[in-house]
Chains A and B, each alone.
Chain A
Amino acid sequence: MTVEFDSSPAFAGFAHPERLVSTEWLAEHLADPGLVIVESDEDVLLYEVGHIPGAVKVDWHTELNDPVTRDYLDGKGFAALLSAKGISRDSTVVFYGDKSNWWAAYALWVFTLFGHEDVRLLDGGRAKWESEGREMTTEKPRRDTTDYPVVERDDTTVRAFREDVLDHLGAPLIDVRSPEEYRGERTTAPAYPEEGALRAGHIPTARNVPWSRAAAEDGTFRGRDELEAIYRGEAGVAESEPVIAYCRIGERSSHTWFVLTHLLGQENVRNYDGSWTEWGSAVRVPIARGDEPGEAPAPR
């Protein structure tokens, strides 16, 4: 059962407007059968402070990751998680969260690895909903558990590994971190602790387009024309080319993956979730520093 799409004119220019919902739309559809709202935040306690009525929490750190190996949960784990959350294979899932939907986009991307069909993002995220004075509650919803099927994770379509990136060098690669991280002045976003990588810089040939450039002041996505100018114009991503995006651990680049895939309609966009915490610590991978993308090393 598919919940109707948000037909706001604001979204009409996007390649896949059905992937976005506005706060107005969500406020009117809170009780729709077949709709599940998922909150995913950087701050793991934020949901408990108050959330959109009916929303369930998905914790990126404890629920989407494998507890031991650096990887996502497997098909069985995903089925168990979604069954417990009361999400069915045909549910419409609307994601939202803090930090302009970084983590919400990340959760949406993980759901995509398992081919969950109807995933949408709340434009503007938690901050917009709150700033409009819309209803929040601390009451946790009681959803009946479901019987979500075991679907094997597809790591070939929207996910890239280090080897894929090495083979990809020379083709469009987008580094969505801050300019300071890109230039190699630091390994984490400004105001974040230094952590996680032994070398600073960027993957040679990567263009730096900080993820936040896709967002307007209020956290909503910029319009199609502005996004085209940034990604096709400045970053030079042609429509037909495969693209890989990366950041520090793959969360900010999920946001850019969403923009390229669903708003601009780019085919073949992959998120390199190993990102800088892997690349910046790996032995003998090429690294470039400074403002220039740098040259691709000779093919392996």
Chain B
Amino acid sequence: MTSELPAALSEIREEFLALSGQDRLQLLLEFANELPELPARFADDPALTERVVECQAPVYIAIEVDDAGVHMHATAPREAPTTRGFASILSQGLDGLSAQEVLAIPADFPLSLGLTELISPLRLNGMSGMLSRAQRLTVEKSK
């Protein structure tokens, strides 16, 4: 079923799998550093974002759906780089997809990045939580 993964997410996964052990963590750190600031319209109004309670760190996400597709925004503290990395992967991988494509992302995508031996299950749960919330918000915003 992996062939159905949208191109951007598929590329991200290939990037991870092409690397070994510690280099994968380094790549996750690069993603963490690329996470853009939350746009002001979300930062100013906490009601527009949703807390990802599955993550240990305080992480908030927001989903927008417009003519160009789905956009995910996220914010997480600097002292939680792993979580920032996950948010950044999803934010880049989801951007511009149709709502249907977002909903078709398999729930085990976070487990397919080759990080299961490097990162504790509790943290990967956080990324799964982020994905399922993004999918639910996509449904809500598409109505």
Contact = CB atoms under 8 A, between A and B. Distances in A.
B81 A46 contact: yes
Contacts of A218: none
Interface of A: 42-46, 48-49, 61-62, 67, 98, 191-193, 195-196
Interface string B68-99: 00000000001111110100000000000000
Contacts of A43: 57, 79-83
A69 to B, nearest CB: 15
B56 A45 contact: no
B120 interface: yes
B28 interface: yes
Nearest to B51: A191
Given A61-B119, A193-B122, A44 B56 contact: no
Contacts of B81: 43, 45-46, 48-49
Secondary structure dominating the interface of B = helix
B118 interface: yes
Secondary structure dominating the interface of A = loop
A49 B29 contact: yes
Contacts, number: 55
13 contacts: A42-B56, A43-B57, A43-B79, A44-B119, A45-B29, A45-B85, A49-B78, A61-B118, A61-B120, A62-B118, A67-B117, A193-B122, A196-B122
B142 interface: no
Contacts of B28: 45
Given A191-B53, A192-B56, A193-B54, A44 B118 contact: yes
Contacts of A45: 25, 28-29, 32, 81-82, 85
A46 B28 CA distance: 11
A98 B58 CA distance: 15
Nearest to A126: B79
Contact of B53 (A49, A98, A193, A195): A193
Given A43-B79, A43-B80, A195 B29 contact: no
B119 to A, nearest CB: 6
A196 B32 CA distance: 27
A195 B125 contact: yes
A181 B85 CA distance: 29
Contacts of B32: 45, 49
Contacts of B126: 193
